[in-house]
Structure 1
Amino acid sequence: MLQDFVNSPLFGLLLFNLAIVWPLWRILRRAGLTPWWALLALVPFGLVPVIGILAHSRWPVLPVRETRKSKARRTA
Protein backbone atom coordinates (compact mmCIF):
# COMPACT_ATOMS: atom_id res chain seq x y z
CA MET A 1 0.00 0.00 0.00
CA LEU A 2 2.81 2.42 0.84
CA GLN A 3 4.59 1.48 -2.39
CA ASP A 4 1.47 2.40 -4.36
CA PHE A 5 1.34 5.81 -2.69
CA VAL A 6 5.03 6.53 -3.33
CA ASN A 7 4.63 5.69 -7.02
CA SER A 8 1.52 7.85 -7.47
CA PRO A 9 1.69 11.36 -8.96
CA LEU A 10 0.03 12.74 -5.83
CA PHE A 11 3.14 11.91 -3.82
CA GLY A 12 5.26 14.04 -6.14
CA LEU A 13 2.74 16.87 -5.89
CA LEU A 14 2.80 16.64 -2.10
CA LEU A 15 6.60 16.76 -2.02
CA PHE A 16 6.64 19.75 -4.36
CA ASN A 17 4.11 21.63 -2.24
CA LEU A 18 5.99 20.92 0.96
CA ALA A 19 9.22 22.11 -0.67
CA ILE A 20 7.49 25.39 -1.63
CA VAL A 21 6.02 26.22 1.79
CA TRP A 22 9.27 26.89 3.67
CA PRO A 23 10.88 29.31 1.17
CA LEU A 24 7.55 31.03 0.61
CA TRP A 25 7.16 31.40 4.39
CA ARG A 26 10.53 33.17 4.54
CA ILE A 27 9.74 35.43 1.57
CA LEU A 28 6.43 36.51 3.08
CA ARG A 29 8.05 37.19 6.43
CA ARG A 30 10.80 39.29 4.85
CA ALA A 31 8.20 41.20 2.86
CA GLY A 32 6.51 42.14 6.13
CA LEU A 33 3.39 40.10 5.40
CA THR A 34 1.91 37.31 7.48
CA PRO A 35 3.74 34.06 6.65
CA TRP A 36 0.60 31.98 7.19
CA TRP A 37 -0.32 32.69 3.56
CA ALA A 38 2.36 30.14 2.63
CA LEU A 39 0.10 27.31 3.79
CA LEU A 40 -2.19 28.05 0.85
CA ALA A 41 0.47 26.39 -1.31
CA LEU A 42 -0.76 23.07 0.06
CA VAL A 43 -4.18 23.63 -1.51
CA PRO A 44 -4.53 23.03 -5.27
CA PHE A 45 -4.23 26.38 -7.07
CA GLY A 46 -3.63 28.03 -3.68
CA LEU A 47 -0.33 29.46 -4.82
CA VAL A 48 -2.08 31.74 -7.33
CA PRO A 49 -3.59 34.12 -4.72
CA VAL A 50 -0.35 34.11 -2.75
CA ILE A 51 1.59 35.28 -5.79
CA GLY A 52 -1.10 37.90 -6.41
CA ILE A 53 -0.80 39.15 -2.84
CA LEU A 54 2.97 39.36 -3.14
CA ALA A 55 2.78 41.17 -6.45
CA HIS A 56 0.10 43.71 -5.61
CA SER A 57 0.61 44.53 -1.95
CA ARG A 58 2.81 47.22 -0.52
CA TRP A 59 5.90 45.73 1.07
CA PRO A 60 6.34 47.62 4.35
CA VAL A 61 9.94 46.46 4.67
CA LEU A 62 11.03 48.30 1.52
CA PRO A 63 11.79 52.02 1.73
CA VAL A 64 9.36 54.41 0.10
CA ARG A 65 10.39 55.39 -3.41
CA GLU A 66 10.71 59.04 -4.20
CA THR A 67 8.43 60.27 -6.92
CA ARG A 68 9.99 61.38 -10.18
CA LYS A 69 10.07 65.03 -10.95
CA SER A 70 8.64 65.55 -14.38
CA LYS A 71 10.83 67.48 -16.75
CA ALA A 72 9.47 70.32 -18.80
CA ARG A 73 8.69 69.24 -22.31
CA ARG A 74 10.20 71.05 -25.21
CA THR A 75 7.95 72.23 -27.96
CA ALA A 76 9.07 72.37 -31.55
Structure 2
Amino acid sequence: MLQDFIDSLSQGPLLGLMLFQVAIVWPLSRILRRAGFSPLWALFSLVPLGHVVPIGVMAHSRWSVLPARQTRKVKARRTA
Protein backbone atom coordinates (compact mmCIF):
# COMPACT_ATOMS: atom_id res chain seq x y z
CA MET A 1 0.00 0.00 0.00
CA LEU A 2 2.74 2.46 0.94
CA GLN A 3 4.80 1.39 -2.05
CA ASP A 4 1.85 2.12 -4.36
CA PHE A 5 1.58 5.60 -2.86
CA ILE A 6 5.29 6.26 -3.36
CA ASP A 7 5.12 4.99 -6.94
CA SER A 8 2.16 7.24 -7.72
CA LEU A 9 4.03 10.27 -6.34
CA SER A 10 7.10 9.57 -8.44
CA GLN A 11 5.06 9.42 -11.66
CA GLY A 12 3.26 12.73 -11.29
CA PRO A 13 4.28 16.33 -10.73
CA LEU A 14 2.96 16.35 -7.15
CA LEU A 15 6.25 15.21 -5.60
CA GLY A 16 8.20 17.94 -7.39
CA LEU A 17 5.73 20.58 -6.28
CA MET A 18 5.85 19.38 -2.67
CA LEU A 19 9.66 19.40 -2.64
CA PHE A 20 9.74 22.87 -4.16
CA GLN A 21 7.32 24.20 -1.54
CA VAL A 22 9.36 22.70 1.31
CA ALA A 23 12.61 23.98 -0.22
CA ILE A 24 11.19 27.53 -0.13
CA VAL A 25 10.40 27.45 3.61
CA TRP A 26 14.00 27.27 4.87
CA PRO A 27 15.50 30.22 2.94
CA LEU A 28 12.41 32.35 3.53
CA SER A 29 12.55 31.66 7.27
CA ARG A 30 16.22 32.72 7.34
CA ILE A 31 15.41 35.94 5.48
CA LEU A 32 12.55 36.70 7.85
CA ARG A 33 14.72 36.02 10.91
CA ARG A 34 17.46 38.34 9.66
CA ALA A 35 14.89 41.03 8.93
CA GLY A 36 13.63 40.85 12.52
CA PHE A 37 10.38 38.96 11.90
CA SER A 38 9.21 35.60 13.17
CA PRO A 39 10.43 32.76 10.94
CA LEU A 40 7.03 31.10 11.33
CA TRP A 41 5.72 33.48 8.64
CA ALA A 42 7.55 31.20 6.19
CA LEU A 43 4.96 28.47 6.76
CA PHE A 44 2.53 30.51 4.66
CA SER A 45 4.61 29.50 1.64
CA LEU A 46 3.28 25.93 1.98
CA VAL A 47 -0.12 27.22 0.85
CA PRO A 48 -0.38 27.94 -2.89
CA LEU A 49 0.47 31.62 -3.45
CA GLY A 50 0.93 31.93 0.32
CA HIS A 51 4.46 33.28 -0.05
CA VAL A 52 2.86 36.58 -1.08
CA VAL A 53 1.72 37.15 2.54
CA PRO A 54 5.18 37.25 4.23
CA ILE A 55 6.65 39.23 1.35
CA GLY A 56 3.82 41.76 1.67
CA VAL A 57 4.32 41.99 5.43
CA MET A 58 8.04 42.59 4.92
CA ALA A 59 7.42 45.20 2.25
CA HIS A 60 4.89 47.26 4.21
CA SER A 61 6.26 47.21 7.76
CA ARG A 62 9.18 48.80 9.53
CA TRP A 63 12.17 46.49 9.96
CA SER A 64 13.40 46.47 13.54
CA VAL A 65 16.98 45.50 12.61
CA LEU A 66 17.60 48.52 10.39
CA PRO A 67 18.84 51.76 11.96
CA ALA A 68 16.47 54.71 12.04
CA ARG A 69 16.56 56.93 8.99
CA GLN A 70 18.21 60.29 9.37
CA THR A 71 16.53 63.28 7.83
CA ARG A 72 18.36 65.05 5.05
CA LYS A 73 19.22 68.68 5.26
CA VAL A 74 17.44 70.72 2.65
CA LYS A 75 19.95 72.82 0.79
CA ALA A 76 19.03 76.24 -0.49
CA ARG A 77 18.81 76.37 -4.26
CA ARG A 78 20.69 78.94 -6.19
CA THR A 79 18.72 80.80 -8.79
CA ALA A 80 20.40 82.26 -11.82
- Which residue of 2 is the match for residue 10 of structure 1? 14
Instruction: After TM superposition, list the pairs within 5 Å mapping 1:1-76 onto structure 2.
Output: 1=4, 2-76=6-80
Aligned residues: 76
Task: Name stretches of at least 5 consecutive residues in structure 2 with no aligned partner.
Answer: none
Q: Which runs of 4+ in 1 moved over 3 A?
A: none
Q: Look up the equivalent residue of 1:46 and give its one-letter code.
A: G
Scaled by the length of structure 2, the TM-score of the pair is 0.84
Name which of structure 1's ranges 65-74 and 39-48 shifts more when overlaid on structure 2: 65-74
How large is the Cα RMSD of the aligned pairs?
A: 1.2
Where 2:62 maps in the other structure, the secondary structure is: coil
- Any idea what the Cα deviations from partners look like across 1:4-51, whole Å, max 9, x if unmatched? 212211211111111110111111111111111100000001001111
Task: Name stretches of at least 5 consecutive residues in structure 1 with no aligned partner.
Answer: none
Identical-pair percentage: 63
Scaled by the length of structure 1, the TM-score of the pair is 0.87
